[in-house]
């Protein structure tokens, strides 16, 4: 009886793996088509100053309508792009598009905020990446000090020395670096000092825990804020979804906030409206 159960379980297991591989191959096929036809666009998620709740920057997020219509979002297709090598094309496209947009906003609205661009961990081991960033900055005449590259914390795990070298190379171009999803990876706090990063983004899972009274998550947020203070890093809280969270983070001195409560990711037109409005309220 037990043996039979075990065998069945094994069959299910194999079927799940096979299903997973099939789905990945399917996503890869749709991705290749999307890249070929240029079926991507960006949405713009504003980042706010916690003191006055004015937008100070924006994170650009990729969207692929042809995949979204099949229920596949970036959380699922970016990892597939990473294992198939398609990510280099995607990162290059996002970078080019973002730099062209920030130049446009600067010229048209005197926008002076930052653009935070997600890059894959794969780029930490891609020798051509810094040169690509450099030539795109030149092409768009973009001010590197207003460009921030977001890298997820988990990506440092393999080949730390090599990653740090690449990060320093990127920094030498004048761009800022930000550690995304901070708290979810393996970074020992003592390692933090070795990373040439300028900013930490506290992962959404910690911010959402702030509602649960005197929780462990609260203490974790406090520790991250103290650490950021110690190493003189800027901090963004990600995934802010309530007024209570804003109050807590503001009171604890978290400099910047991002999340659905303040704004969802915006279309290009809506983001321009926001910039236009905040600009006119400043000059009024």
Question: What does 259 interact with, of ligand C2E, Mg ion, none (CB < 5 to 8 A by kind)?
Answer: ligand C2E
- x/- string (CB under 6 A) for ligand C2E, residues 195-234? ---------x------------------------------
Q: Which residue of 50, 98, 118, 120 would you call a contact of Mg ion, by CB under 5 A?
A: 118
Is 132 a residue that touches ligand C2E (CB under 6 A)?
Answer: no
Q: Are 275 and 111 in contact (CB under 8 A)?
A: yes
Distances (CA, A) of 12 to 1, 25, 215: 17, 20, 39
Number of residues that bind ligand C2E (CB under 6 A): 23
Closest distance of CB 11 from ligand C2E, Å: 33
Is 180 a residue that touches Mg ion (CB under 5 A)?
Answer: yes
Find all residues with CB under 8 Å of 54, minimum gap 6, and list them.
48, 278
Is 148 a residue that touches Mg ion (CB under 5 A)?
Answer: no
Q: How many residues does the chain have?
A: 284
Is 150 a residue that touches Mg ion (CB under 5 A)?
Answer: yes
* 18: its two tokens: 């096979």
What burial letters (b/e) apply to 230-268, b meaning 16+ CB within 10 Å? eeebbbbbbbbbeeebbebbbebebbbbbbeebbebbee
Residue whose C-alpha is closest to residue 225's, from 206, 205, 242, 208: 206
220 three-state secondary structure: helix
Question: What does 255 interact with, of Mg ion, ligand C2E, none (CB < 5 to 8 A by kind)?
Answer: none
Neighbours of 186 (CB within 10 A): 9
Closest distance of CB 68 from Mg ion, Å: 17
Half-sphere exposure of 41 (CA within 13 A, CB side): 10
* 244: its two tokens: 């209570």
Is 91 a residue that touches Mg ion (CB under 5 A)?
Answer: no
* 157: its two tokens: 């795990």
Q: Which residue of 58, 62, 102, 179 would you call a contact of ligand C2E, by CB under 6 A?
A: 62
Is 12 a residue that touches ligand C2E (CB under 6 A)?
Answer: no
Q: Which residue has the tokens 């995934």?
A: 239
Is 163 a residue that touches ligand C2E (CB under 6 A)?
Answer: no
Q: Which residue of 50, 118, 178, 272 would you call a contact of ligand C2E, by CB under 6 A?
A: 118
Instruction: Choose the stretch contacting ligand C2E; rule: CB under 6 A; options: 2-10, 71-79, 164-172, 190-198.
Output: 71-79
Residues forming contacts to ligand C2E in the complex (CB under 6 A) are 61-62, 73-75, 78, 91, 94, 118-120, 150, 180-181, 204, 238-241, 258-260, 265
Residues forming contacts to Mg ion in the complex (CB under 5 A) are 118, 150, 180-181, 238
């Amino acid at each position: 009886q037990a043996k039979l159960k075990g065998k069945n379980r094994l069959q299910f297991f194999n079927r799940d793996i096979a299903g997973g591989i099939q789905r990945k191959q399917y996503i890869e096929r749709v991705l290749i088509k999307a890249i070929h036809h240029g079926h991507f666009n960006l949405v713009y998620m504003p980042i706010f100053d916690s003191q006055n709740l004015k937008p100070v920057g924006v994170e650009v997020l990729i969207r692929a309508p042809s995949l979204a219509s099949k229920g596949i979002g970036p959380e699922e297709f970016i990892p597939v792009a990473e294992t198939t090598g398609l990510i280099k094309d995607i990162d290059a496209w996002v970078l080019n598009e973002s730099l062209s947009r920030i130049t446009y906003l600067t010229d048209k609205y005197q926008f002076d905020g930052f653009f935070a661009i997600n890059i894959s961990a794969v780029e930490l081991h891609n020798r051509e990446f810094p040169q690509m960033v450099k030539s795109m900055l030149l092409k768009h005449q973009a001010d590197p000090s207003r460009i921030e590259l977001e890298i997820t914390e988990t990506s440092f795990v393999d080949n730390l020395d090599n990653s740090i070298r690449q990060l320093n190379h990127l920094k030498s171009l004048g761009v800022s670096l930000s550690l995304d999803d901070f708290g979810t990876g393996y970074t020992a706090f003592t390692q933090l000092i070795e990373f040439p990063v300028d900013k930490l983004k506290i992962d959404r899972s910690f911010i959402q825990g702030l509602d649960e009274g005197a929780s462990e998550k609260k203490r974790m947020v406090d520790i991250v804020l103290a650490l950021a203070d110690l190493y003189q890093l800027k901090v963004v809280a990600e995934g802010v979804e309530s007024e209570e969270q804003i109050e807590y983070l503001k009171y604890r001195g978290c400099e910047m906030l991002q999340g659905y409560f303040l704004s969802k990711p915006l279309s290009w037109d809506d983001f321009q409206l926001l910039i236009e409005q905040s600009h006119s309220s400043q000059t009024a």
